[in-house]
């Protein structure tokens, strides 16, 4: 058993020695000949060790010092934590309009809508086409109307959700006050 172990150690030492030195010779036609033994007219080749990477050690658990994040990670964190400061819908809740020709329903955001964010504005359950922040209702019919706005980022995370109910009154043909 000892002999096998010694033989393995010697063979691995020889293999390491052979890998440590390499020789090259440039032939007349420009081709190169490599060998693990010295060649007449050849030069030793210095082989650089393989590039390695060692990760920095993680901070100790329970450490009070919080490492500063790289700029990219800070931006990602800010993007994940983003919320609109104000998100309101007009008309105001329970507002009443008498005989309007048109009625504008709109979303007000602070800060302004970011590129890539998606607006889903619905009036009486019907989505307004084009993802607009406002919509003009021509000749709105009488009764109660609901408007809902939902703003999502490009990944589907809800950033703003608001709704309102407003009322439209129209004079009736049977109204006694009508002449």
Q: What is the pLDDT of residues 47-63, one digit of tens each?
A: 788 888 888 888 777 55
CATH number of the domain within which 116 lies: 2.60.40.10
Q: Is the pTM higher than 0.85?
A: no
- Specify if 92 maps to a domain: yes
Tens digits of residue pLDDT in 125-149: 999 888 889 999 999 999 999 999 9
- Specify if 54 maps to a domain: no
- Specify if 108 maps to a domain: yes
Asked if 35 and 93 sit in the same domain, the reply is no
> For the chain, which residues score pLDDT lower than 50?
6, 16, 18, 65-66
Among residues 125, 127, 114, 108, the alpha carbon closest in space to that of 157 is found at 114
The two three-digit tokens of residue 28, written as one number: 């007349």
Range of the domain at 25: 19-46
- Specify if 155 maps to a domain: yes
CB burial readout 35-70, b (16+ within 10 A) else e? eeeeeeebeeeeeeeeeeeeeeeeeeeeeeeeeeee
Number of domains in the chain: 2
Asked if 32 and 97 sit in the same domain, the reply is no
Asked if 95 and 142 sit in the same domain, the reply is yes
Query: How much is the pLDDT for 12?
Result: 55
């Amino acid at each position: 058993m000892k002999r096998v172990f010694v033989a393995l150690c010697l063979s691995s030492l020889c293999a390491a020695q052979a890998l440590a030195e390499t020789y090259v010779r440039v032939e007349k036609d420009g081709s190169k000949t490599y060998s693990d033994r010295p060649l007449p007219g050849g030069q030793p080749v210095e082989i650089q060790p393989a590039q390695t990477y060692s990760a920095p050690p993680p901070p100790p658990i329970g450490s009070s010092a919080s490492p500063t994040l790289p700029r990219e990670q800070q931006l990602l964190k800010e993007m994940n934590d983003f919320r609109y400061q104000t998100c309101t819908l007009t008309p105001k809740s329970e507002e009443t309009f008498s005989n309007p020709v048109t009625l504008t329903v709109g979303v007000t955001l602070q800060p302004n809508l970011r590129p890539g964010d998606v607006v889903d504005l619905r009036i009486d359950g019907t989505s307004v086409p084009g993802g607009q922040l406002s919509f003009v209702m021509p000749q709105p019919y009488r009764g109660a109307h609901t408007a809902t706005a939902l703003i999502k980022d490009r990944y589907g995370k809800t950033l703003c959700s608001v709704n309102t109910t407003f009322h439209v009154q129209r004079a009736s043909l049977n109204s006694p006050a009508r002449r």
